[in-house]
Amino acid sequence: MRNPDAHDTAARVVFPNVDPSIVADDGNDWVFCSTCAFSEVCLAQGMGKGDLRDLHLLVEHTGPYEAGQFIFREGTEFNSIAAVRAGTVKTFMVDSQGREQVLGFHLPGELIGLNAIDGDRYPCDAVALDTVMLCRFYFPKIAMLATRVPKLQQQLFRLMSRDIGNAARFAGDYSADERVAAFLVGFSRRLSARGFSPTRFRLTMSRADLANYLRQAPETVSRVLRRFEDDKLLEVRRRDVEIMDLPRLESMASAVLRD
């Protein structure tokens, strides 16, 4: 029986070395974490966390992972996907010449490990950029649960499709201004979708990592950011960003984001 004294609000978790403006509200026995990747599906089916003990048993809270600590390495055996609860995770590959290619930056509520479902090993590395906390889902069991909750399977496919789309986003012949604008607008929208501020946030990745992801030189990205500041589009204080004119930035990003 439900405890009548149980609260329906989740407590704000506090982790050191994490931007407090993008830390998830933690869940409790009855409420999903605010960034839970599957809560929307479960709630749509009329099932709260208390009704999903099977799913709850699949979740393992892990961490903290400190900045620079690997979460998984390329070639290691795949057995779980993980949702980011706090912090930022970078995924990347290293080619035969030792050159790194950044694949993405994953925020609270987003999943890592989806690109390993097709095989039995992780095809890339994942590293914490700051203090990271995760919810791990043992994949064979969650796949079995998906047969009982069909919309859960649909959500997995949706998330995989989104992951593929994000990876291919900057493959086109876009200008440096368009690329940087698209990244900032996309970052803003991802934060906003999880209830965080869309205009004030911290870029936890290095300028070199950001440039690598955008397929630009670090000097080029720095010049674009300075120009955006001069044009009153945003303000940058080291890694803290405040977007001053989101509509103009969205207009610049429209070709990349296709909206």
pLDDT of amino acid 33: 64
Whether the predicted pLDDT of 1 surpasses 80: no
Q: 132 pairs with which residues across the strands? A: 65
Instruction: Tokens 């439900």: give the residue.
Output: 2
CA distance 28 to 25: 10
CA distance 160 to 79: 16
pLDDT of amino acid 26: 55
The average confidence (pLDDT) of the chain is 81
Task: Name the pTM for this structure.
Answer: 0.80
Q: Angle 176-193/246-257 helices, nearest 10 degrees?
A: 110
Better-scored residue on pLDDT, 194 or 75: 75
Of 44-53, 140-149, 249-258, the range with the lowest mean pLDDT is 44-53
Over range 230-257, report the average pLDDT.
95
Instruction: Tokens 């599906």: give the residue.
Output: 41
Under 8 Å CB-to-CB from 3, ≥6 apart: which residues?
Answer: 29
Tokens at residue 158, please? 């949706």
- Please state which of the four CATH numbers 3.20.20.220, 3.30.230.70, 1.10.10.10, 3.30.70.1520 is assigned to the domain occupying 173-257: 1.10.10.10
CA distance 157 to 160: 5
Whether the predicted pLDDT of 138 surpasses 60: yes
CA distance 36 to 58: 13
pLDDT of amino acid 32: 61
Whether the predicted pLDDT of 86 surpasses 80: yes
For the chain, give every residue range classified as CATH 2.60.120.10. Answer: 20-170
> Residue 172 gets which letter from DSSP?
S
pLDDT in tens, 15-26: 444 454 445 555
pLDDT in tens, 34-70: 556 666 555 555 555 555 555 555 677 888 999 999 9
pLDDT of amino acid 2: 30
For the chain, give every residue range classified as CATH 1.10.10.10. Answer: 173-257
Residue 12: strand, helix, or coil: strand
Over range 139-161, report the average pLDDT.
77
pLDDT in tens, 118-135: 878 999 999 999 999 998
CA distance 112 to 224: 29
Which CATH superfamily groups domain 20-170? Jelly Rolls (2.60.120.10)
Over range 222-245, report the average pLDDT.
96
